[in-house]
A = this chain, B = another copy of it.
Amino acid sequence: MTATLKDVANRAGVSTSAVSRTFTDGASVSLKMRRKVEKAAAELGYSPNFLARSLTTRRTKLIGLVSNNFHNPIFLQVFDLFTRGLQDRGLRPLLVNLSDEVDPENSLRMLQQYSVDGAIVASSTLPPVFSKAFRDQKLPVVHTFGRYSSSPDVHAVGIDNVVAGRMAALELVERGYKKVAYLGGPQSATSAQDRLEGFERELSHHPNIKQSHSYAAAYSFEAGRTEMLRLLKENPAEAYFCADDVLSIGALSAVKDMGLRVPEDIGIIGLNDMEMSGWENINLTTIHQPIRQIISSSIELMVAMLDEPDRYPEARLFPCRVVERGTLRPRS
């Protein structure tokens, strides 16, 4: 159907190697030859088959974009940035949805069958065993929003969730709240664990402040709402650090439903600063996570690893900052 290398070679009256070389940068071809080949190629509408090429070059320029988070609106932006960033570098994202997977085996096999050059795992809830399994097969892996640990076996890019937890705690303390709580995402998520750790660590310096914590079933509106409704019926805190914006928005809805006011009765601080949090009808005070930088850094790291697969694993952590809007009471 579509023209092949051989077709072009025939039409131009040259060898197939010559054609191949014109389409390979850095290969030795005279200007005259190149002209001839390009003319024939243009006439036939030829463009090289990347998959056939990949057999010999061992490069598919395919990158597995692996995630399990298709319910948190921030991930739409994440996918947008990843796909564009990868495209700009001549790489193609092969999207892998791991929503219901518990075992890395299937996804690993799939990535191997398509010979991806690397895998970007974009999730703060996917167990580390996934990225580890990929890495064990010598696949270059970047875990975006992954956990940094003292002996990381895969590259991690994101924020320091412990620091973010402290930052949230401190913000609540400074605003004079005396009884605070942490509302986390799923307990199995490393991000939920680390944020709690930071939150508690900071509060350990303020022994006069009461604290508690609980977890929502997922990083989603519904889960946040459900958990907050439960909390409000018991013995609510004055202010909550919700480990994610979408969780916060769910919590916000619960608070209002119970006839309470924000920030007068209950204070809420989120994490992420997604676009929606700035919307006037939400107006959430939150901790900004520098998504663009995280993603462009993830891509750079992946590109670097393609040339140097055994690169020593590193963690790239970006600073966060509090974005003040309307869901915490003013500083005292």
Question: Which residues of A pack against B, CB within 8 Å?
Answer: 1-2, 47-52, 54-55, 60, 62, 65, 70-73, 75-77, 79-80, 83-84, 87, 92-97, 99, 109-110, 112-115, 137-138, 221, 225, 249-250, 252-253, 256-257, 275-276, 279-282
Contacts and interface: CB of A to CB of B under 8 A. Distances in A.
Contact of A2 (B110, B112, B221): B112
A49 B52 CA distance: 12
A92 B94 contact: yes
A253 B276 CA distance: 11
A310 to B, nearest CB: 13
A96 B257 CA distance: 41
B221 A276 contact: yes
A70 B76 contact: yes
Contact of A109 (B47, B97, B221): B47
Work out how many copies of this chain go into the complex.
2
A257 B282 contact: no
Contacts of A279: 221, 249-250, 253
A300 B4 CA distance: 31
A97 B93 CA distance: 10
Nearest to A220: B275
A76 B71 contact: yes
Contact of A1 (B79, B138, B249, B280): B138
B84 A99 contact: yes
Contacts of A72: 76
16 contacts: A1-B138, A47-B109, A51-B51, A51-B54, A51-B114, A65-B95, A70-B77, A70-B80, A73-B76, A75-B76, A87-B96, A221-B276, A225-B280, A249-B279, A249-B281, A253-B280
A140 B71 CA distance: 30
A110 B86 CA distance: 13
Nearest to A250: B279
B95 A80 contact: no
B97 A95 contact: no
A105 to B, nearest CB: 11
A91 to B, nearest CB: 11
Contacts of A249: 279, 281
Contacts of A93: 94-95
A202 to B, nearest CB: 30
A197 B78 CA distance: 35
Contact of A94 (B48, B94, B115): B94
A138 B276 CA distance: 41
Nearest to A252: B281
Contacts of A2: 112, 137
Nearest to A67: B83
